[in-house]
């Protein structure tokens, strides 16, 4: 039986962070599953088109990648889910897989990074270690993208988990939706840290990290905090650059469930 490993990420139009994050996760996944042939896909149509126009690189959508795998005679496909949480893109991925699963003898799908409460705790532990260089009087502000959820907000859950592990050291905000920027500003005013480290809570350090977080515009997080008198330092490092995060993605793939 021919077996394949299909790694699905949102994608990015920033080549440097792509190599350091998405491709790094993909390499670790290939090492974790040496008995499977590798393929990858991006869920964002906008980013696929953008990279095709700018770099001439054609990247499959999940549906296209699965069609190619079926045509090549693969019967067992493990889909490694590189999304961050259960949001719109993840729902679209699941629907695309369900539409074609009958073309394969077996199809399994890994959960995204923050699918369950145990995942949130695991990521909090990884982040606490990854940012342990920050001094006690400093603050780490993490910028998530944000999304609408029918359940309790995972960003708030991550904040609570971090607070349990390293009290007063982290604050979690988002570009869009809840909780937004306000928790970051409140934490900064309450702690009056010697320095605020700004880092993206995203797989890649792409447009949001470069512009909404570290940009020079008045409404960027960096500018708003500086305007309040805080000393800041921006880390343009996506989650995919953290070895512990890549390990979590591999573990989720190993626990993939049959569709």
Q: Which of 40, 83, 145, 252 is catalytic?
A: 145
Q: What share of the chain is helix, strand, coil (3-state, %, to 5)?
A: 45, 15, 35
> Is there a catalytic annotation at residue 145?
yes
Residue 89, pLDDT score: 82
CATH code given to domain 117-239: 3.40.50.1400
Which residue ranges does the chain devote to CATH 3.40.50.1400?
3-113+242-258, 117-239
The answer to whether residues 77 and 29 touch, using CB atoms and an 8 Å cutoff, is no
What is the CB neighbour count within 10 angstroms for residue 167?
Answer: 8
Q: Measuring CA to CA, which residue among 254, 26, 238 is closest to residue 130?
A: 238
Q: What pTM does this model have?
A: 0.95
The helix or strand, by DSSP H or E, that contains position 174, with its residue range, turns out to be: strand 170-174
What is the CB neighbour count within 10 angstroms for residue 145?
Answer: 20
In terms of DSSP bridges, do strands 106-109 and 257-258 run parallel, antiparallel, or are they unpaired?
antiparallel
Q: Which segments of the chain have a pLDDT < 50?
A: none
CATH code given to domain 3-113+242-258: 3.40.50.1400
Residue 127, pLDDT score: 98
């Amino acid at each position: 039986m021919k077996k394949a490993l299909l790694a699905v990420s949102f994608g990015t139009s920033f080549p440097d962070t792509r190599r350091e994050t998405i491709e790094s996760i993909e390499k670790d996944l290939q090492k974790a599953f040496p008995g499977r042939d590798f393929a990858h896909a991006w869920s964002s149509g906008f980013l696929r088109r953008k990279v095709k126009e700018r770099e001439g690189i054609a990247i499959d959508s999940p549906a296209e990648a699965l069609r190619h795998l079926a045509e090549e005679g693969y019967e067992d496909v493990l889909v490694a889910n590189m999304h961050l949480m259960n949001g719109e893109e993840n729902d679209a991925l699941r629907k695309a897989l369900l539409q074609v699963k009958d073309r394969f003898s077996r199809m399994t799908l890994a959960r995204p990074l923050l699918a369950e409460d145990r995942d949130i705790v695991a990521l909090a532990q990884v982040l606490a270690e990854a940012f342990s260089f920050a001094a006690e009087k400093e603050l780490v502000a993490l910028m998530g993208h944000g999304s609408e959820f029918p359940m309790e907000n995972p960003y708030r859950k991550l904040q609570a988990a971090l607070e349990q592990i390293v009290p007063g050291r982290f604050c979690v905000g988002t570009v869009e939706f809840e909780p937004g920027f306000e928790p970051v500003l409140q934490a900064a005013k309450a702690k009056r840290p010697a320095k605020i480290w700004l880092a993206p809570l995203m797989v890649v350090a792409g447009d949001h990290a470069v512009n909404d977080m570290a940009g020079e515009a008045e409404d960027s997080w960096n500018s708003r905090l500086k305007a309040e008198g805080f000393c800041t330092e921006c880390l343009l490092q996506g989650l995919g650059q953290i070895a512990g995060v890549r390990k979590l993605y591999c573990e989720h793939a190993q626990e993939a469930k049959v569709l």
